[in-house]
Amino acid sequence: MRRFAEGTPELADEMRTREARRARHVLDPQRLRVAGVGEVPGAEQVACGGRVGHRASIARALESRRMFDLDRYPARIGAGREATLADLQRAHVASITFEGLSAHVGEAVPLDPDSLAAKIVDGGRGGYCFEQNLLFKAALEALGYAVDPHLARVRVGLAPGQIRGRTHLLLHVADGEQHWHVDVGFGGGTPTAPIPWGPGTEHELAGWRFRVVEEDDEWVLQTVEDGAWSDVYVFSAQPSPMIDIEMNNWWTATSPDSPFVAGFLVSRQSTDGGRLLLTDWGELSLVERTPERTGSIAVERPQVADLLAERFDLPGFRVDDQGRLRR
């Protein structure tokens, strides 16, 4: 567990090592900067107390070239000054709507942290997996965590023998010797707290059960649906370079075959396990789910804009005369 502190020689050495490692990546480091206070927190080791992750003291920051606004982001998600990794994940998932509406209405979906902060933190919007998990990655790195992104192939709703592209993103978060599987951006129902990295036992989060199992040389996140384990997505233990993430995001945001271009899925999760979804992937409907039950209500196209504003905190959309969603 880590707490922000004024810079120490040991921390300065650690940060220089991280910066040297990141400088070898293809992506220009300047694109990883988030406009803000110009400070990034350092950390010192404190007792873990059996809780997941570190306690983030968001009041102070350590000077760094990588900048993330540690005032606006916690305010956006309602995180307290002593938030742990699990606290941050729960707050993010409960506060920020999953949505790929930018792709659906023909807007660009940039992934640099400046754009993500402008859209999600300052603009009050949501985002899909690439946006949400990269924003969370930037916040966690500013708090001193080591974070690697991993692309995944979604298997939910997949027919036997089919295979999808790597159009999902999750995070591997390291906090000292503790390693966590973190995902704040799976629209059908993302884990609300970290689970240990890699294959292992099952974990119950707000009533939903998850586990990771091995499959050949990959790992599969599974959840229980209708009393049986069902695949959510499959991924590699090797992290994904940013160029691959950018390419898969480009396809997801622009291809006519992308479900986020051809249709939409918007969802919210509550800390008690409730899930609310609005989607036209199939019949246009509003779906409410708990670990015990699922209910669905058919929706008329003209109702979509009002539902987005009233149920998902997404004002500013309208439905045109052809029934197409616009902004």
Indicate which residue of 168, 175, 181, 280 is catalytic.
Answer: 168
Q: How high is the pLDDT of residue 68? A: 67
- CB-based burial label for 81 (10 Å; 0-12, 13-18, 19+): exposed
Per-residue pLDDT of the chain (327 residues; tens, 9 = 90+): 443 333 344 434 444 444 443 333 332 333 323 323 233 333 333 333 333 444 433 333 333 234 567 779 999 999 987 899 999 999 999 999 999 999 999 999 999 999 999 999 999 999 999 999 999 999 999 999 999 999 999 999 998 889 999 999 999 999 989 999 999 999 988 899 999 999 999 999 999 999 999 999 999 999 999 899 999 999 999 999 999 999 999 999 999 999 999 999 999 999 899 999 999 999 999 999 999 999 999 999 999 999 999 999 999 999 999 999 999
Mapping DSSP to helix (H, G, I), strand (E, B) and coil, where does residue 51 land? Answer: coil
Number of domain units in the chain: 1
What does pTM read for this prediction?
0.81
Integer Cα distance of 73 and 120 in angstroms: 9
Amino acid sitting at position 309: A
In-domain check, residue 247: no
Token readout for 276 is: 């609310």
Catalytic residue at 183? Answer: yes
In-domain check, residue 311: no
In-domain check, residue 281: no
Which CATH number does the domain housing residue 61 bear? 3.30.2140.20
Query: How many other C-beta atoms lie within 10 A of the C-beta of residue 84?
Result: 22
Integer Cα distance of 73 and 76 in angstroms: 5
Catalytic residue at 168? Answer: yes
Those residues whose C-beta lies under 8 Å from the C-beta of residue 212, and which sit 6 or more positions away, are 181, 195, 198, 199, 200, 219, 220, 221, 222
Which tens digits make up the pLDDT trace of 88-117?
999 999 999 999 999 999 999 999 999 999
In-domain check, residue 217: yes
DSSP label at 158?
P
In-domain check, residue 272: no
Domain extent for 175: 2-235
Catalytic residue at 150? Answer: no
CA angle 161, 162, 164 (to 5 degrees): 150
Integer Cα distance of 182 and 191 in angstroms: 8
Mapping DSSP to helix (H, G, I), strand (E, B) and coil, where does residue 175 land? Answer: strand
Indicate which residue of 69, 129, 172, 181 is catalytic.
Answer: 129
Integer Cα distance of 24 and 317 in angstroms: 41
- CB-based burial label for 126 (10 Å; 0-12, 13-18, 19+): buried
Token readout for 122 is: 């300052």
Indicate which residue of 112, 175, 183, 280 is catalytic.
Answer: 183
In-domain check, residue 270: no
In-domain check, residue 15: yes
In-domain check, residue 206: yes
